[in-house]
Amino acid sequence: MTARLNPYLGFRDNARQAMEFYRSVFGGELNMSTFGEYQASEDPAEQDKIMHAQLETERGYTLMGADTPNTMPFNAGDNYSVSLSGGPEDDAELRGYWDKLADGGEIAMPLETAPWGDAFGMVTDRFGVSWLVNIAGEQNAQGQQ
């Protein structure tokens, strides 16, 4: 098995809707399991909550998420962000993701040329998840080869 780094997103009670939204943004295969399927909670109100969701995209992105049990604290958006980055060849794809993530969200920094020469933007999507998008400029992309 190959080690990988990917975000794991926490939600209070809308992980299903959030993960289906991300599938609509990135495509791919989404698998979800509920607390009830694994008898992971005795609370009847939590049986249909998502215990674990995993989205695997054709581009090799992995996104995981879950609902937070009622017995655990939940603070939306203050403990993580997700970074999407690529080179100039990925510009159209990354801008497409940006547009979909920004739809219904709040843009903290528009996706535009940053002082370091890359296109960079920050947005909080409609589910309270903070995203960073960075598209390397030609000069920076060449320096990374």
**Digit-coded pLDDT (tens) for 11-37:** 999 999 999 999 999 999 999 999 999
**d(Cα 68, Cα 46) in Å, to the nearest integer?**
10
pLDDT, one tens digit per residue, over 90-110 is 999 999 999 999 999 999 999
CA distances for 75 relative to 12, 80, 125, angstroms: 9, 10, 15
pLDDT of residue 95: 96
Domain 8-67 belongs in CATH node 3.10.180.10: yes
CA-CA-CA-CA torsion sign (11, 17, 123, 5): positive
CATH superfamily to which 82-143 belongs: 2,3-Dihydroxybiphenyl 1,2-Dioxygenase, domain 1 (3.10.180.10)
Residues 6+ apart with CB under 8 A from 99: none
So what's the pLDDT on residue 38? 84
**Percent of the chain whose pLDDT exceeds 70:** 90
- Listed by start position, the domains of the chain span 8-67, 82-143
Structure tokens at 107: 């843009």
Mean pLDDT, all residues of the chain? 89
Tokens 């809707």 belong to residue: 17
pLDDT score for 137: 87
Query: Is the CB of residue 66 less than 8 Å from the CB of residue 52?
Result: yes
Question: With bands split at pLDDT 50, 70 and 90, how would you rate the model's confidence at 50?
Answer: very high
The letter for the amino acid at 134 is N
For residue range 105-117, list pLDDT tens digits in order.
999 999 999 988 9
